[in-house]
Amino acid sequence: MKESKENAVISKATIDRLPLYYRTLKLSQEEGIEIISSDELGRKIGVTPEQIRKDLSAFGEFGKKGVGYYVRELMRNIGEILGLNRKWNIAICGVGHLGWALANYANFSPQGFHLQAIFDIDPDKIGRYINEVEIFHVSRMKEIVTERDIQIGIITVPMEFAQSTATQLVEAGIKGIWNFAPIKINVPDTIHVVSEDLSVGLSSMSYYLSRQNG
Amino acid sequence: MKESKENAVISKATIDRLPLYYRTLKLSQEEGIEIISSDELGRKIGVTPEQIRKDLSAFGEFGKKGVGYYVRELMRNIGEILGLNRKWNIAICGVGHLGWALANYANFSPQGFHLQAIFDIDPDKIGRYINEVEIFHVSRMKEIVTERDIQIGIITVPMEFAQSTATQLVEAGIKGIWNFAPIKINVPDTIHVVSEDLSVGLSSMSYYLSRQNG
């Protein structure tokens, strides 16, 4: 596995499916499933078994023909590929309801994402804590990001402040931005941006309900 | 287009990519782009041009060879396929920070999703309004869902109440559930469930940052 992992050229589409594989394997493991076929895994995620075999073959040999994938082993391997065995320090920018909800989100930490700081501009919020993490004024961003070795910034500020927040995060030395504001932010190519649009989930639902109701 | 649209058997993976196409086309349109190639569209979304051509061919002919896709036309067609030209009534169950954030989320309504009711059990919240939408006690769910013709329920209650809320929604007559609780909910096969895991966005980020930092 080591060889192919390092040398393979892997498409972004494959990479974007890996977290879904990881998550589905984790749920399967919690249900007590030890071995899973690509058919079964595909059915749960909504991709074809061929797609799964193709995706996973880019990284090496994970399954046994006619048997399936060993859930725990495959999960550990995908987690390793995704870098989930590493520890990532994250910061949230903007303490509205969404920022607050993310600060309380239980599923980040088990996957290696550790909230180290929260930034806002509201004097009433500065110095307060959410889940034992302090809220700092944005003017201290560079200092705190450096000091706490924060690699990922999450943008949950109102849309009109998203670009300036992104620029500040980049200047502070952040490597990746997870943007919840519904606009495209401009940052240097070296910064990896993931844009979240919460309405995407509803849109695919709309398709299925349209079909169902005729 | 009408013919192929009705008769085609379309994979779930394709359906799940359509909202991404729609969203990217919308952003392109806002940037003033009128024609887009499958190369360019693929680059923005992170799938191969072949995948895009394959996905869209399932629905009919949208592009001009050697020219590209007409952004506005393709957007309208995908919107139609997704049922976004229809009006969907939605309800939010659970007014924590996430429920509150979703109730304020600006991007639902332009896509045809209209928040009609919010449910909670906290007496301090019942009767209050978020963005002109009333918060009702869950005991009134069936009555309100019927009266306001609500088709989609969003679950933002704490994990331990997610299953009972799902059961209540189904009994109230809902057709689709968008579940933010990090557990698998059990509902009849006729109900379409979309599960949201907010940590998926961070996981693919982790992959890219791992590679970048060596």
pLDDT of residue A176: 95
Neighbours of B12 (CB within 10 A): 16
CB-based contact A207 B82, cutoff 8 Å? yes
Measure in Å the smallest separation between the Cα of B67 and chain A Cα atoms.
Answer: 24
Contacts of B27 in chain A (CB under 8 A): 184
Is B98 marked as binding a ligand? yes
- List the domains of chain A with CATH numbers: 2-81 (1.10.10.10), 88-199 (3.40.50.720)
pLDDT of residue B5: 42
B126, pLDDT greater than 70: yes
Contacts of B97 in chain A (CB under 8 A): 97-98, 100-101, 104
Over residues B88-102, mean pLDDT = 94
Is A97 marked as binding a ligand? yes
Question: Is residue B157 within 8 Å of B93, Cβ to Cβ?
Answer: yes
A211, pLDDT greater than 80: no
β-partners of residue B193 are B177
* A79: nearest CA partner in chain B: B203
Reported as a pLDDT band with limits 50, 70 and 90, residue A27 is confident
CB-based contact A208 B192, cutoff 8 Å? yes
**How distant is the alpha carbon of residue A168 from its chain centre?**
21
pLDDT of residue A98: 93
> Hey, which residues 49-68 in chain A have their CB within 8 Å of chain B?
51
Q: How far apart are CA B151 and CA A56, in angstroms?
A: 37
> What is the bridge-based pairing of β-strands A192-195 and A176-179?
parallel
End-to-end CA distance of chain A: 48
Is A94 marked as binding a ligand? yes
In the numeric block, the tokens 């906290």 are attached to: B122
pLDDT of residue B91: 97
Edge-first strand order for the sheet with A35-36 is A35-36, A68-70, A63-64
Is B99 marked as binding a ligand? yes
pLDDT of residue A205: 83
Over residues B91-109, mean pLDDT = 89
Measure in Å the smallest separation between the Cα of A8 and chain B Cα atoms.
Answer: 12
pLDDT of residue A65: 74
Reported as a pLDDT band with limits 50, 70 and 90, residue A197 is confident
Q: How far apart are CA A103 and CA A97, in angstroms?
A: 10
At A76, which amino acid appears? R
DSSP assignment string, B111-137: GTEEEEEEEE--TTTTT-EETTEEEEE
Q: For residue A208, what are the CA distances in angstroms to A176, B11, B54, B82?
A: 34, 12, 20, 8
Q: How far apart are CA B187 and CA B12, in angstroms?
A: 19
Nearest 5 degrees, angle CA A99-CA A102-CA A104?
A: 115
ipTM over 0.85: no
Is B25 marked as binding a ligand? no
Measure in Å the smallest separation between the Cα of A164 and chain B Cα atoms.
Answer: 19
End-to-end CA distance of chain B: 48
Contacts of A15 in chain B (CB under 8 A): 204, 207-208
**Token code pair at residue A118:** 């929260």
A171, pLDDT greater than 80: yes
**pLDDT tens sequence across B159-179:** 899 999 999 999 999 999 999
**pLDDT tens sequence across A136-154:** 999 999 999 999 999 999 9
Q: For residue B32, what are the CA distances in angstroms to A2, B27, B29?
A: 46, 9, 5
> Hey, which residues 93-132 in chain A have their CB within 8 Å of chain B?
96-98, 100-102, 104-108, 111-113
Question: Is residue B84 within 8 Å of B112, Cβ to Cβ?
Answer: yes
Measure in Å the smallest separation between the Cα of B132 and chain A Cα atoms.
Answer: 17
Q: Does A88 touch chain B (CB under 8 A)?
A: yes
Q: Does A14 touch chain B (CB under 8 A)?
A: no
Edge-first strand order for the sheet with B63-64 is B35-36, B68-70, B63-64
If you average pLDDT over each of A17-21, B4-8, B209-213, which comes out highest? A17-21
Q: How far apart are CA B149 and CA B117, in angstroms?
A: 10
Annotate chain A with three-state secondary structure.
CHHHHHHCCCCHHHHHHHHHHHHHHHHHHHCCCCEECHHHHHHHHCCCHHHHHHHHHCCCCCEECCCEEEHHHHHHHHHHHCCCCCCEEEEEECCCHHHHHHHCCCCCHHHCEEEEEEEECCCCCCCCEECCEEEEEHHHHHHHHHHCCCCEEEECCCHHHHHHHHHHHHHHCCCEEEECCCCCCCCCCCCEEEECCCHHHHHHHHHHHHHHCC
Contacts of A188 in chain B (CB under 8 A): none
pLDDT of residue B201: 75
Reported as a pLDDT band with limits 50, 70 and 90, residue B123 is very high
Contacts of A11 in chain B (CB under 8 A): 46-48
CB-based contact A202 B11, cutoff 8 Å? no
* A154: nearest CA partner in chain B: B202
CB-based contact A209 B192, cutoff 8 Å? yes
Nearest to A178 by CA among A106, A77, A97, A88: A88
Over residues B130-153, mean pLDDT = 96
To the nearest whole number, what is the mean pLDDT of chain B?
A: 86
Over residues B130-158, mean pLDDT = 96
pLDDT of residue B4: 40
Q: Does B44 touch chain A (CB under 8 A)?
A: no
pLDDT of residue A182: 77
Q: For residue A74, what are the CA distances in angstroms to A57, B10, B49, B78?
A: 12, 29, 29, 36
Reported as a pLDDT band with limits 50, 70 and 90, residue A55 is confident
Reported as a pLDDT band with limits 50, 70 and 90, residue A30 is confident
Reported as a pLDDT band with limits 50, 70 and 90, residue B214 is very low
